[in-house]
Amino acid sequence: MMHYLKKDIVIADQYSPVKILLSGVGGTGSHILTGLARMNQALKALGHPGLYILAIDGDNVSEANVGRQLFSKADIGRNKATVLVTRLNAFFGTDWASCPYQITKEFSNGDGSPQIIITAVDSLKSRILFYRSAKNLTAHYWMDTGNTADTGQVIFGSVNPVEQPDKPGVTPYLPNAVDLYGNNLSVGEEDSQGPSCSMAEALNRQDLFINQMVATCALHILWQGFRYGYLTQHGAFINMQSMTTRPLPVDPETWNRIGWKGIKEKKKKSKSAK
């Protein structure tokens, strides 16, 4: 099966880049943000208007971040989002924005309306906050990323159903991280991603390249969607110990095995509403 992305993402207006809100620019988020800058250049070369990013992170760069995340010693003490967005704007000539604060309440329409929200945070509370914001902001999609010491996952899901072409084998809705895993999203993550005083201590909590692997999978899913207009895989599960990456296909049977029955429930609800 496949899911066709909403048209205003794939065939965007010439003067309106796709708006993406990225929450968290630490271990995984710093790699995602840098990859989005490269993707923006590639999309523009293909005639797409590109991307506009709002990066949010309330943390400052610490010594433990240097090397594991995309920061240098000169960045220590400065806000992560501000550092990276300023650097990318100067390098690529973009005009992306940063928010150097921890978000403690849901966004509203007054804050702008991103079409895609990406979370690269380490707590269930933060994820749920941005998932609710996605609904309030009428975002089309929510991509969640997470990892433990040597495993990780990426799930690109819908916020609301999206109209599809009149053809067999398509689905209007991709279950998101909350649909599939609910409270289990936070299992093991806060312990493995907690604050560290040194890079050596941080490496005892997380493998060096797990964040980069998770970010690469996330970026590839986005790129496939932008490039071809549809997805046949909307997530990935990474295991650095076994050196394997297992895709999450656009497949109701797979979703049902995980425990999500949402497609049938939505149909029942729509019939009863009539």
pTM: 0.87
- pLDDT tier for residue 16 given thresholds of 50, 70 and 90: confident
- Which residue, chain included where needed, has tokens 């501000």? 82
Q: In CATH, what number is assigned to the domain containing residue 243?
A: 3.40.50.720
From the list 251, 268, 269, the residue with the least C-alpha distance to 260 is 251
Could you give the residue ranges of the DSSP H alpha helices within 58-176?
80-92, 124-136
Question: Is the model's pLDDT at 70 over the cut of 60?
Answer: yes
Backbone phi and psi for residue 70, each to the nearest 5 degrees, phi listed first = -85, 60
Could you list the residue range(s) of the whole structural domain that residue 11 is in?
3-273
Overall domain count for the chain = 1
Q: Tokens for 68, please give them.
A: 């594991």
- Which residue, chain included where needed, has tokens 């509403």? 273
Kindly report the average pLDDT of the chain as a whole number.
84
Residue 176 is predicted with a pLDDT of 94
- Which residue, chain included where needed, has tokens 């991103």? 114
Identity of the residue numbered 97:
A
What whole-number distance in Å separates Cα of residue 6 and Cα of residue 44?
19
Residue 205 is predicted with a pLDDT of 59
Q: What angle do CA 27, 230, 134 make, to 5 degrees?
A: 50
Q: Tokens for 94, please give them.
A: 């973009």
113-132 residue pLDDT tens: 889 999 998 777 777 777 77
- pLDDT tier for residue 109 given thresholds of 50, 70 and 90: very low
